[in-house]
Amino acid sequence: MTSYLPTGTVYGVLLNFRAEQEALAPQMNEPPYKAPPQAPVLYVKTANTFSPQGAPIALPAGVQAVEVGATIGLVMGEGGSVAGCVLMNDLSIPHASFYRPPVKYKCLDGFLGIGAALRTDGADPASFSLEVRIDGQTRQRADFSELVRPPAQLLADVADFMTLRAGDVLMLGCNAGRPLARAGQRVDIVAPGFDVLSNTLVGGQP
Between CA 34 and CA 43, with CA 38 as vertex, the angle to 5 degrees is 95
Euclidean distance between CA atoms 115 and 71, whole angstroms:
11
Tell me whether residue 161 is in a domain. yes
Buried b (16+ CB within 10 A) or exposed e, 80-104: eebebbbbbbbbbbeeeebeebeee
Residues in the chain, overall count: 206
Q: Beta partners for 49? A: none
CATH code, domain with 182: 3.90.850.10
Tell me whether residue 53 is in a domain. yes
This prediction has a pTM of 0.92
- Digits of tens for pLDDT over the chain (206 positions)? 568 999 999 999 988 999 988 877 777 666 666 667 788 989 999 999 999 999 999 999 989 899 999 999 999 999 999 999 999 999 999 876 655 656 788 999 999 999 999 999 999 999 999 999 999 999 999 999 999 999 999 999 999 999 999 999 999 999 999 999 999 999 999 999 999 999 999 986 55
Enumerate the H helices of 29-121 as residue ranges.
103-106
Number of folded domains in the chain? 1
Tell me whether residue 1 is in a domain. no
Tell me whether residue 106 is in a domain. yes
Q: Under 8 Å CB-to-CB from 148, ≥6 apart: which residues?
A: 15, 16, 17, 18, 21, 173
Kindly state the helix (H) or strand (E) to which residue 154 belongs, with its residue range.
Answer: helix 151-159
pLDDT of residue 105: 87
Q: At 91, is the secondary structure helix, strand, or coil?
A: coil
Euclidean distance between CA atoms 81 and 139, whole angstroms:
33
By the 8 A CB rule, do 76 and 10 touch? no
- Domain holding 171, by residue range, is 10-203
Q: Which amino acid is at 30?
A: E
Q: Which amino acid is at 186?
A: R
Tell me whether residue 125 is in a domain. yes
pLDDT of residue 78: 95
Euclidean distance between CA atoms 203 and 192, whole angstroms:
31
Question: From the CA atom positions of the chain, what is the Rg in Å?
Answer: 16
